[in-house]
């Protein structure tokens, strides 16, 4: 998934050594199923056989149905059908290896529009049929799902926080009842924090175009595609941080906020159970009315302990 | 009788010193003209480059944070260091309050 996974368990016992192997094995299995960067992955195999019925694994089925649900909930803003556009923008291989791929960029075809709602699903057999030419990329949906699954597995043993490259799932308050302190990295200065939020349970995610980006002819490209234009989103939001009931919800809303931009985000009838902080390109910040209640404040520490999204 | 002895000796119309002067002038002229022409060529080349730029080549430049920059070592030259590009730093005030707990981790846009 191209991300570092960080786990914190609140326990006096050394639980991590018991779960290390199994957790790493699960991530390897998920990577082998869901990665578009592995030519042997299940996703790559499915993408190569569009137009045919194919049986898929439970993991693939769960992530696909989640991605389709997200696509409907966001009215197509977050869609798994932007792989062609991503590759046309130059994101063809792992981001860390992008530096020497100017020639690859020059050979990319123009993106093709494909309708993700034409995917046929056979739930009883976990079989799918992609419309001819459609290729999928689960992107952040897969990462949020994997982080959430890991949290669900480990929460049986101790309060746990799982961080997948900045998308964070929290199982519940720590053993002493207090919330988990989570910093918000300043997208304009990665070594600084914009503040500290206290999360008792749920998820926090940040989408941004401050890191995974590259230049073409002096113009910045980034990895968050606006499906309406099939190009990297032209937005005034540099980074969007969302607190929600689950890391999957937080990931979905943060990406939506970034793609839509600050004006549309503020016009949205956002669910009451999310809180957002937008950092704009000019350095200004905009936050939802309820974001402040998650910020760490010495004077109301007791309140933080009770907050649950 | 030896008739050759009566032939008048062939006279040189150009003196040796004049020959030297002509040779020196020739060399100086050649070098001077070379300099003039080469300067004109250089000016012409420069004008050609500025008048008709090469077609722009697409480039991909990875963005790296300051954290990922390599630390120079004694045998590392500046030219071998990776290029680091970053958005302008906003010197916004970071308020750190007393008794504020350290974050367990940070949320940020997706990182490796």
Structure confidence by residue, pLDDT tens digits, A128-156: 999 988 999 998 899 999 999 999 999 99
The strand pair at A167-170 and A160-164 is best described as: antiparallel
Distances (CA, A) of A179 to A168, A175, A233, A243, B101: 14, 10, 34, 14, 11
A212: which chain B residues are within 8 Å (Cβ-Cβ)? 63, 109-110
Contacts of A294 (CB under 8 A, 6+ apart): A197, A198, A199, A243, A275, A304, A307
Question: Best mutation site among A189, A204, A219, A300 for testing chain B: the one with the most B CBs within 10 Å?
Answer: A189
Predicted local confidence at residue B82, as pLDDT = 52
Instruction: Report the percent of chain A where pLDDT is more than 70.
Output: 84
Note the pLDDT of residue A292.
92
In chain A, which residues have their Cβ closer than 8 Å to the Cβ of B110? Answer: 2-3, 140, 143, 165-167, 207-208, 211-212
Number of domains making up chain B = 1
Q: Do B101 and A205 touch (CB under 8 A)?
A: no
Location of structure tokens 């419309």: A131
Chain B: residues touching A (Cβ < 8 Å): 56-63, 65-67, 85-90, 92, 94-95, 97-112
Judge: A283–B90 Cβ closer than 8 Å, yes or no.
yes
> Residues with Cβ < 8 Å from A60, sequence gap 6 or more?
A33, A34, A42, A43, A46
Tokens 């540099």 belong to A238
B101 contacts A196? CB cut-off 8 A: yes
Cα separations in angstroms, A181 against A3, A14, A303:
21, 21, 14
Q: Does B100 contact A196 at a Cβ distance shorter than 8 Å?
A: yes
Q: Residue B22: which domain range?
A: 16-50
Q: Which tens digit of pLDDT belongs to each residue from A50-90?
A: 999 999 999 999 999 999 999 999 999 999 988 887 777 76
Q: Name A196's Cβ contacts closer than 8 Å, sequence gap at least 6.
A: A181, A182, A183, A184, A295, A296, B100, B101, B103
**Residue in A227, A95, A28, A153 with CA at minimum distance from that of residue B109:** A95
CA–CA dist B108, A175 (Å, integer): 26
Distances (CA, A) of B75 to B37, B78, B79, B98: 45, 10, 12, 43
The count of other CB atoms within 10 Å of the CB of residue A1 is 21
Q: Which of B63, B102, B109 to mutate to test the interface with A (most CBs of A within 10 A)?
A: B109
Of A199, A119, A124, nearest in space to A160 by CA? A199
Q: Tell me A298's DSSP state.
A: G
Residue of A nearest to B96 (CA): A195
- On whether the CB atoms of residues A63 and A42 are closer than 8 A, the answer is no
* Res A234 pLDDT > 80: yes
Nearest to A90 by CA among A190, A277, A225: A225
Distance CA A185, CA A166 (A): 9
Per-residue pLDDT of B61-109, as tens digits, reads 555 444 444 444 445 454 555 554 444 444 444 455 567 888 999 998 8
pLDDT band at B6 (very low <50, low <70, confident <90, very high): low
Could you report the predicted ipTM of this complex, rounded to two decimals? 0.78
Q: Which pLDDT band holds residue A223 (cuts at 50, 70, 90)?
A: confident
- Chain mean pLDDT for chain B: 64
Other Cβ atoms less than 10 A from the Cβ of A44: the count is: 16
Using a CB-CB cut-off of 8 Å, the residues of chain B touching A181 are 101-104
A216·B58 Cβ contact <8 A: yes
Residue B107 with chain A: CB contacts under 8 Å: 163, 166-168, 182-185, 204-206, 241
Q: What's the rounded mean pLDDT across residues B51-68?
A: 53
At residue B66, the pLDDT reads: 46
Closest in B95, B103, B109 to A207, CB measured: B109
Three-state DSSP class for B4? helix
Q: Domain A5-139 belongs to what topology?
A: T-fold (3.10.520)
Taking only the tens place, the pLDDT of each residue in A248-307 is: 999 999 999 999 999 888 877 666 779 999 999 999 999 998 999 999 886 544 344 434
Determine whether the interchain pair A183/B67 forms a contact, defined as Cβ–Cβ distance below 8 Å: no
Tell me the three state secondary structure of residue B48: helix
Q: What is the pLDDT of residue B43?
A: 65
Choose between B14 and B7: higher pLDDT: B14
pLDDT computed for residue B112 by the predictor: 63
> Six-digit token pair at A40?
């042997």
pLDDT at residue B38 above 70?
yes
Per DSSP bridges, beta strands A180-186 and A189-199 are: antiparallel
Q: Where are the alpha helices (DSSP H) in chain B?
A: 16-51
- Which among A96, A140, A181 has the least Cβ separation from residue B110? A140
Domain A170-306: assigned CATH number: 3.10.520.10
pTM of the model: 0.70
pLDDT beyond 60 at B50: no
Identify the pLDDT of residue B71: 46
How does the average pLDDT of chain A come out, rounded?
85
For chain A, give every domain's residue range. 5-139, 170-306
Position B46 in a domain: yes
In a domain, B22, yes or no: yes
In this predicted structure, the answer to whether residue A196 has a pLDDT above a threshold of 90 is yes
Under a CB-based contact definition with an 8 Å cutoff, are residues A105 and A128 in contact? no
- Tell me chain B's radius of gyration from C-alpha atoms: 38
Binary contact (B111, A211; C-beta < 8 A): yes
CA distances from A150 to A6, A32, A36, A147, A163 (A): 11, 16, 21, 5, 10
On whether the CB atoms of residues A216 and A88 are closer than 8 A, the answer is no
Token reading at A148:
């959430």
* Residue A26 scores a pLDDT above 60: yes
Of the two residues A184 and A213, the one the predictor is more confident about is A184
pLDDT value for B1? 45
């Amino acid at each position: 998934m191209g991300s570092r996974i960080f786990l914190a368990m609140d326990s006096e016992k050394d639980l991590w050594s018991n779960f290390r192997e199994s957790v790493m094995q699960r991530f390897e299995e998920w990577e082998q199923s869901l990665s578009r960067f592995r030519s042997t992955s299940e996703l790559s195999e499915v993408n190569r056989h569009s137009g045919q019925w194919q049986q898929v694994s439970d993991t693939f089925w769960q992530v696909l149905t989640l991605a389709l649900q997200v696509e409907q909930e966001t009215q197509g803003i977050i869609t798994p059908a932007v792989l062609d556009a991503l590759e046309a923008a130059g994101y063809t291989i792992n981001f860390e290896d992008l530096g020497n791929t100017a020639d690859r960029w020059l050979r990319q075809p123009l993106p093709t529009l494909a309708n993700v709602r034409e995917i046929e699903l056979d739930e009883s057999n976990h079989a799918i049929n992609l419309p001819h030419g459609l290729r999928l990329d689960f992107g952040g949906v897969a990462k949020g799902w994997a982080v959430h699954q890991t949290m669900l597995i480990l929460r049986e043993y101790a309060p746990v926080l799982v961080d997948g490259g900045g998308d964070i799932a929290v199982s519940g308050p720590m053993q002493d009842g207090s919330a988990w302190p989570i910093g918000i990295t300043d997208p304009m200065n990665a070594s600084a924090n914009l503040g500290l939020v206290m999360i008792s349970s749920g998820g926090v995610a940040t989408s941004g175009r401050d890191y995974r980006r590259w230049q073409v002819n002096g113009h910045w490209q980034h990895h968050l595609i606006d499906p309406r234009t099939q190009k990297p989103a032209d937005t005034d939001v540099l980074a969007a941080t969302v607190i929600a009931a689950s890391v999957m919800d937080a990931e979905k809303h943060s990406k939506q906020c970034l793609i839509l931009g600050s004006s549309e985000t503020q016009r949205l009838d956002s669910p009451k159970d999310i809180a957002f902080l937008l950092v704009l390109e000019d350095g200004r910040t905009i936050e939802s009315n309820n974001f402040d209640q998650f910020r760490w404040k010495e004077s109301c520490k007791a309140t933080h302990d009770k907050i649950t999204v | 009788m030896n008739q050759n002895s009566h032939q008048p000796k062939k006279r040189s119309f150009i003196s040796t010193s004049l020959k030297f002067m002509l040779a020196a002038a020739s060399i100086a002229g050649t070098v001077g003209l070379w300099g003039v022409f080469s300067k004109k060529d250089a000016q012409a080349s420069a004008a050609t480059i500025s008048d008709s730029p090469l077609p722009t080549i697409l480039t991909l430049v990875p963005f790296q944070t300051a954290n990922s920059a390599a630390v120079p070592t004694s045998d590392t030259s500046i030219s071998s260091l990776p290029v680091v590009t970053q958005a302008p730093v906003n010197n916004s005030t970071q308020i750190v309050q007393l008794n504020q707990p350290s974050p367990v981790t940070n949320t940020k846009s997706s990182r490796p």
